[in-house]
A and B are shown apart, each in its own frame.
Chain A
């Protein structure tokens, strides 16, 4: 059954290192979302794409975070340089939201990032 996949599932890195997280959305979905989840802030939307075009990245720290969709089967979230406060679980979600079908998002399993 179709699922969103994310790699890596776990990442431990040192402060200052570059981190790249990857997501493969469900085939046919035209909208991809990146979220960050922490105990303190809950689930926060970082950025999202529609038909591979960035629609909103206002939730993302611009100086160190970047999100791209090189093609319809791959979305990436990059942090450079990483900091301890970036430690969180990062989720990718995909969907084809519209008024008729609804706005359900399908979430991947997440990447647990620890920055030491």
Chain B
């Protein structure tokens, strides 16, 4: 079946640098995407979402970019901090899927001080 996957399973950056986490999706009918952050021992926490009629959305220190042509989603974190170290998941909702989200495998981000 169709699924959401990640290009990089791990990413290591220096504190203060910008981070980019990538996600490839295969369901061209997906109409909503969301990024979650999961710290060790905790449940996933919402970061930012984007609808398929947009190509960019910004939050506090984070930006999500959506390229529907190549079915690619990215999360940019500005001025990465040690507290950003976590696993990041992208998730998609297929059009007409009745509220279900399909999650990718996750990318581990490590921020070095």
| A is bound by B | yes
A31 within 8 A of B: yes
* Binary CB contact string for chain B from 88 to 113 against chain A (1 if under 8 A, 0 otherwise): 01000100001111111110000000
Residue among A42, A48, A104, A110 making CB contact with B43, cutoff 8 Å = A110
Given A42-B104, A42-B106, A43-B89: A103 touches B99 (CB 8 Å cut-off):
yes
Within 8 A of A (CB), among B10-45: 32, 34, 36, 41-45
User: Judging by beta carbons under 8 Å apart, are A104 and B99 in contact?
Assistant: no
CB distance from B77 to the nearest CB of A (A): 19
- What interface size band does chain A fall in? 20 to 34
- The number of residues on chain B lying at the interface, defined by a beta carbon within 8 Å of a beta carbon of chain A, is 21
**Contacts A48-B100, A103-B32, A110-B42 supplied; 17 other A-B pairs, CB < 8 Å:** A31-B99, A42-B105, A45-B100, A50-B99, A55-B98, A55-B99, A56-B98, A91-B43, A91-B44, A93-B43, A102-B34, A103-B93, A103-B99, A106-B46, A107-B36, A109-B41, A109-B43
B residues near A, CB below 8 A? Answer: 32, 34, 36, 41-46, 49, 89, 93, 98-106
Q: List 7 A-B contacts (CB under 8 A).
A: A45-B102, A48-B99, A95-B99, A97-B99, A105-B46, A107-B36, A108-B43
A residues near B, CB below 8 A? Answer: 4, 31, 42-43, 45, 48, 50, 55-56, 91, 93, 95, 97, 102-110
